[in-house]
A and B are shown apart, each in its own frame.
Chain A
Amino acid sequence: MSIYDLKGARVSPMEQARTLYYKAEAYGHIANMGLRVGPLTMLGHLRSKPWLKVLLDCGTLFDMSTKGREGLYRQASAMALSRVVKAITETLEGVFTRPEYTVMHEDLVPPEIIYAMGLNPWMAELLGIMGPLIRSDFAERYIDVSENAGTPPDICSLPKATMGLALKGEMPRPAAILTSNMPCDGGMSCYTVLERELNVPTFRLDVPYNFYDERSTKYFADELFRAVKWLEANTPGRMDWDRLKEICDERNRSVEYQMELWDLIREKPAPLAGEALYLGHMIFMVAMPGRPACTEYMKTMVDMAKRIRAEGGALHNERFRAALWNPPTLVYPELIAWAEQRYGVVTLMDMISYNRHPYIDTKSPQTIMEGLSRIIMQGPMARHTRGPQTNFFTDLFDLYERFNLDMIWMAGHMGCKNTMALNGMFREKCRERGIPLLIIQYDLSDTRVVSPAEIRKQAEGFMETVIKAEPSK
């Protein structure tokens, strides 16, 4: 963590107290999980799964997200993190208390079907994503385990960390695995290792390359029906179609608030930015959608955004608006708050958040499955990395206009070959459109490849030489 990059904002004791409240609330969620799982059982898990200790460091994430911010924006950031911690602890609680009902799912396979079957979803990549956000070197020991077992260093570090957790024997063992060929070959292939190491039955969903037509929707909906049958044969779960309808209706409600939030952040100055947007989206709209807590989160953020708007925006000195394309910089989440402070750059959108959430027609199981098919196939990142290049660029240039952006920051994760192979085209297309583009060379979850300081230096160089922005004193 490099919160030292951030200057502390001048905040009132009341604001400080609010931040502390949410921080305490987050630790309360962790303590509650321990109590509900059972203190002795939890101690056993702590011994066999040392990564659990990283949760106790979540306070640093709070500090990073709030230190340089003021007013309601600071409050919204703290509140968002508390909700995220709660969602994660609830997931872990399910994994620890009902392992025989737990289904590990790949990060871009949303869990609605798993919920509706009375099973616990456990996103395999969750630790590899959240760990580095809290402690930047979190994934490195697992990456090393994976590489020592023969995985080449050039494979994306997220699947490497995920495989490393399994190879080290620290990954909770589910009853079954539900995965797919998304979002990339590295992500897809790592399930060969997970399946063998965890020794559990695995179902793989096949997402077509071209997925914007009814032919692919039908093909993939049939895949989902097959997955349901398979889960019924391999787990205690049974599909409850009424329950799935409720979950999808709930999801639709969340989407309404999400759309409203997107309309709000189009305004200048933006009434919300940073973690409250990207982390909330990642957890509530991508990893764990379809629950009342998700709708509640999106509604709360809409309300907060309206109040922040009345305060004069999230950043009173907003000077530039950016999208951080690709997944956010996990090893250096401070980049967003630092850019706000240093240059007045608000980060409004990223690849994971810019989801397509068509409403699900819940009138029959068939229409529900078709709706879910579209959502999964057109999911965030999946649709950018799996389809033709037009998927990547059309969305990006669309959101550039939609959110009135001034620049694009590309988090150029070196392990993401899909996007690395578009960088030449990317530069040319941005040049044609007059869009300033920063491609940050770094690794998603390994600070040894490029350090946070070097990431910051790349951003400084871009802002001061290309944008000619004066850094704030």
Chain B
Amino acid sequence: MKQPVSLPRLINDIVDSPISPLVDKAQEADRKAIAYTCSFVPEPLLNVEGLFGVRVRAPGVSGTPMADTYLSNVICSTVRSILEFVLEGTFSSINGWVFTASCDHMRRLYDNLDYLEHPDFIHILDVPHKRSEAAVQWMREELSMLAEKLADKFNVVTDDAALSRAIDAHNEYLALMRDISDLRKRDHPPLTGAMFQALIAAASSSPTDLIIPHLRVFYETARNAPGIDDYRARLLMAGSHCDDPHYIRVIESTGALVVGDRTCTGSIPALAPIDDEGDPLTVLARRSLSNISCPRMMEEFDTRVEEIIAAAKEFRVDGVVLETMKFCDTWGVEASPMINALRKAKIPVLRLEREYSLGSEGQLQTRVQAFMESMGK
């Protein structure tokens, strides 16, 4: 496919390195980097003045021998890859860690990382599996405890006013990313799915305020660029966490164009604006529980299906790629009923199981090509 725009070099550099150069820059200004591993962590809480959130990734991990010793080889490879980098010292500049008890694998990553590294600051959020009012209140208390702990440890202010400012700043970032995402709704989008994922990955692993100018430059270039007009099919990607643009690049190398991503690291609905009315902690709690379509939210299966169907219509896709991380129990079990439900809604679905590290590119291309052919594309 012809690509009318290209990513800024800095974005590519960030995507291919475990620690963004912008992290160093922010730390030089005496800001503290707080690592997190899951979308249930509300970024604005980590972005109060003096701190910034960094979603850790493990690009280029080539194997996980040390992590396997502790976690075994039947655990999600995202988790193993992150622990491998931790044990290699890749994240030694990180000032603190915030985890969520979101799934068995993440919980055990927290356990093992704490046991092996004893970080100066480590915290785990107890995220409910429901989004009832009682659950929102529980989550609010959890966030309140984290806010207090961050304030004590790093001598920062995490009161309502500080949180409101962080929410406003994050909304600015979300609005910009939504504008970029909306470009993909065009008949001829100016950017590929891989590019969009690279922007998200770079942004989430960098201080938001430092990455925004680069995102804006890209947006201004892309909005006026001609579109891609030689793709074979428009696809929506749904499923597990995916922070690897190269995975999408392989899918798109077949002539497919990924125009939407319904993953916890994607655009739908994670880029929705954060409510800026009311108690900030309650707002963040409600958003965490309602905005992340992870199957660990045990009552929301129908909602997840409906969201994918709605996104498929909105982005006018020909089919859905449901990618699930190998060893992920929640997606592993949910994928089959979800595929049945999507097919019932007359949406073609391709199910792919993947590992964190990109491998078997040829097989992946063959599967995607066959899928497009099955749709007559």
Binding site for B on A (CB under 8 A): 149-152, 154-156, 159, 163, 181, 184-186, 188-193, 196, 204, 206, 208-210, 215, 219, 222-223, 385, 388-389, 414-415, 417-418, 420-425
Contacts and interface: CB of A to CB of B under 8 A. Distances in A.
Given A150-B339, A208-B128, A159 B333 contact: yes
A155 B333 contact: yes
Contacts of A424: 69-72, 112
B333 A151 contact: yes
B86 interface: no
A155 B126 contact: no
Contact of A414 (B74, B108, B296, B298): B74
Contact of A423 (B72, B110, B329): B72
Contacts of A150: 335-336, 339, 351
A435 to B, nearest CB: 17
A209 to B, nearest CB: 4
Nearest to B135: A206
A181 B339 contact: no
A106 B188 CA distance: 50
A378 to B, nearest CB: 15
Contact of B108 (A190, A223, A415, A418): A418
Given A181-B298, A192-B295, A388-B110, 15 more contacts: A151-B333, A152-B324, A152-B327, A152-B332, A188-B296, A189-B329, A192-B298, A206-B298, A222-B134, A388-B107, A389-B115, A420-B75, A423-B72, A424-B72, A425-B111
B101 A425 contact: no
Contact of B103 (A154, A155, A185): A185
Interface of B: 69-72, 74-75, 101, 103-105, 107-108, 110-112, 115, 124, 126-130, 134-135, 138, 141, 295-296, 298-299, 301, 324, 326-327, 329-330, 332-337, 339, 351, 353
B66 to A, nearest CB: 9
Contact of A219 (B74, B103, B134): B134
A185 B329 contact: yes
Contacts of B74: 154, 414-415, 417, 420
A417 B108 CA distance: 9
Given A204-B298, A208-B128, A421 B104 contact: yes
A389 B124 CA distance: 13
Contacts of B75: 417, 420-421
A49 B294 CA distance: 35
Contact of A189 (B138, B295, B351): B295
B72 A425 contact: no
A191 B129 CA distance: 14
Among B69, B72, B299: residue with most chain A CB under 10 A: B72
Contacts of A151: 332-333, 336
A414 B334 CA distance: 20
B138 A154 contact: no
B304 to A, nearest CB: 10
Contact of A154 (B296, B298, B332, B336): B332
A421 B101 contact: no
A149 to B, nearest CB: 6
B333 A193 contact: yes
A190 B329 CA distance: 9
A186 B295 CA distance: 11
Contact of B105 (A388, A414, A421): A421
A152 B326 contact: yes
11 contacts: A154-B74, A154-B332, A186-B329, A188-B129, A192-B337, A206-B298, A209-B107, A209-B124, A417-B327, A421-B104, A424-B70
Contacts of B138: 208, 219
A192 B330 CA distance: 10
A421 B327 contact: no
A421 B327 CA distance: 12
B332 A421 contact: no
What are the 8 tightest A-B residue pairs by CB atom distance, in nearest-first order? A424-B70, A150-B336, A421-B108, A189-B333, A209-B101, A185-B329, A420-B72, A389-B111
Nearest to B115: A425
B111 A186 contact: no
Determine chain A's interface SS by DSSP, over half rule: helix
Contacts of B301: 192
A233 to B, nearest CB: 16
Contacts of A415: 74
A151 B353 CA distance: 11
Contacts of A422: 108, 111
B104 A208 contact: no
A185 B298 CA distance: 10
A22 B71 CA distance: 45
A157 to B, nearest CB: 12
Contact of B141 (A156, A192, A215): A215
Contact of A204 (B299, B336, B339, B353): B299
A190 B72 CA distance: 23
Contacts of A417: 72, 74-75, 104-105, 108, 327, 329
Contacts of B299: 204
Contact of A188 (B110, B124, B298): B298
A170 B335 CA distance: 22
Contacts of A184: 104, 329
B286 to A, nearest CB: 16
Given A206-B129, A206-B135, A210-B126, A186 B72 contact: no
A420 B104 CA distance: 11
Contact of A421 (B112, B129, B337): B112
Contacts of A181: 129, 298
Contacts of B126: 208-210
Contacts of A188: 129, 296, 298, 330
A304 to B, nearest CB: 39
Given A150-B335, A151-B336, A425-B70, A191 B108 contact: no
B112 A425 contact: yes
Contacts of B105: 417, 421
Contacts of B103: 185
A209 B110 CA distance: 13
A190 to B, nearest CB: 6
Nearest to B333: A189
A385 B330 CA distance: 16
Contacts of A191: 298
A350 B285 CA distance: 38
A27 B126 CA distance: 48
Contacts of A204: 129-130, 298-299
A206 B128 contact: yes
A152 B353 CA distance: 9
B115 to A, nearest CB: 6
Given A418-B104, A420-B72, A421-B108, A193 B298 contact: no
A206 to B, nearest CB: 5
A219 B105 CA distance: 24
B44 to A, nearest CB: 22
A94 B326 CA distance: 40
B116 to A, nearest CB: 8
B296 A185 contact: yes
A417 B73 CA distance: 9
A92 to B, nearest CB: 27
A212 to B, nearest CB: 12
B111 A388 contact: yes
Nearest to A415: B74
A181 B129 CA distance: 7
A421 B298 contact: no
Contacts of A223: 134
A11 B11 CA distance: 78
